[in-house]
Amino acid sequence: MKARAFTLIELLVSMTIVSILLIVMVTITGQTSAVWRDTTGKSNQFREARNAFEAISRNLAQATLNTYYDYYAADGSSRKASDPATFVPASYGRQSELRFQSGEASTLVGGAVATFPGQALFFQAPLGFTKAADNAGLENLINTWGYYLEFREDSDRPAYMPGTKRHRFRLMEFMEPTESLQVYQQPNQWLQTVAGGANSHVIASNIICLTFLPKLPSQGPAGDLRVDPDGNRLSPAYAYDSTTVGQAASGAELNSRHQLPPVVEVIMVAIDEPSAVRLEQGGSPPDFGLGTLFKDATPARRKSDLQTLETTLANMKVNYRVFSTEVSLRGARWSREQAN
């Protein structure tokens, strides 16, 4: 029986098919590797921002005012230990020595808008931070905490590291230890040690936008005035101060005096380091058009402001990421019983 072998043409065709398959496999592998490297690179770029955002959400949820009820005089002043004999009670209502305040960072921190852009938020919470050895292990000590943006150089870099200092937008965390609480010592100047103080440190770089919107719950019993589906009745311009009545003129249910907002919407926008390097202008911050954004908290304006910022970043060919969440404050017990 005569054995049959492959012809030269058949071998050439087979080799061609195998070569095509190898090329396709190499191409697919290369593309997959490129996508993996790109995805991993982006994930690493924003890891610091993501960790910082989670820290904000975690710590903010523990905010407290430790509210109690006591007497007020006819002029609205509260009873003090120094005037028990002369104090004449006229009304009874909420009181607290602690504070919760949000608003323009430049106003709260005290500085130029270009240096302290966007919004800031400060509050007290039982976070247990202390620098006193005798207080070690007391995990529920009250601290003043806060977050704001600052355009600054990387002054945290050790002196032995070479290179020119880089100016970036940086997310700052303010941590005031229990034994140094200014809210008790100087209530009207409780934030005076924030800017440039030893209690502030960088927790993330290249954060270009930070907003805080105190809100009432968006859902609840029908007809309950403490429910706000639009989310702008409590802080129509984003600002909130627990020592004032706030928007109470529009309704007793909006009285913010000595009350924590039930919910705070937090939005943070981060850019990657390569984009920051490309936009770097020494000590001058890049202009992202934020000067006119996030002033009006109506739903349509909130949405359009974020879209405007994203469009600006896309046109500038900036790689960015938006972090957004709503933080429920565990210590909030919103009431409309007190009208002033």
Q: What is the pLDDT of residues 113-140, one digit of tens each?
A: 989 999 999 999 999 999 888 877 778 8
Express each pLDDT in 205-229 by its tens digit. Answer: 999 999 999 999 988 887 787 889 9
Q: What are the pLDDT digits (tens) for 261-290?
A: 999 999 999 999 999 999 988 888 999 999
Give the DSSP letter string of 133-172.
GGGTT-TT--EEEEEEEEEEE-TTS-TTS-SPPPEEEEEE
**Which residues, in sequence order, are CB contacts of 227 under 8 Å at separation 6+?**
216, 217, 218, 219, 220, 221
pTM above 0.85, yes or no: no
The pLDDT value recorded for residue 2 is 57
Confidence of residue 79 (pLDDT cuts 50, 70, 90): confident
pLDDT of the residue at 297? 95
CB distance 212 to 266 below 8 Å: yes
What CA–CA distance (Å, rounded) separates 291 from 287?
9
The full set of domain ranges for the chain reads 46-61+97-155+166-328
299: confidence class by pLDDT, cuts 50, 70, 90: very high
Please state which of the ranges 45-54, 80-89, 153-162, 303-312 shows the lowest mean pLDDT.
153-162
User: What is the average pLDDT across 52-64?
Assistant: 96
Residue 204 banded pLDDT, cuts 50, 70, 90: very high
Q: Which of 257, 246, 260, 267 minimizes the C-alpha distance to 326?
A: 267
> Mapping DSSP to helix (H, G, I), strand (E, B) and coil, where does residue 263 land?
strand
Strands of 58-106, DSSP E: 68-72, 91-95, 100-104
Cβ atoms of residues 82 and 96 within 8 Å: no
With H, G, I as helix, E, B as strand and everything else as coil, classify residue 48.
Answer: helix
Of residues 204 and 92, which shows the higher confidence score? 204
Which 3 state secondary structure label does DSSP give 246? strand
Would strands 68-72 and 119-125 be described as parallel, antiparallel, or unpaired?
A: unpaired
pLDDT number for residue 163: 56
The amino acid present at 185, given as its one-letter code, is: Q
Higher-scoring residue by pLDDT: 203, 43: 203
Quick one: average pLDDT of 294-303?
95
User: Who contacts 215 (Cβ-Cβ below 8 Å, separation ≥6)?
Assistant: 228, 231, 232, 234, 235, 261, 262, 263, 264, 265, 326
Vertex 327, ends 312 and 148: CA angle to 5°? 55
pLDDT attached to residue 126? 95
Per the prediction, the chain carries an average pLDDT of 87
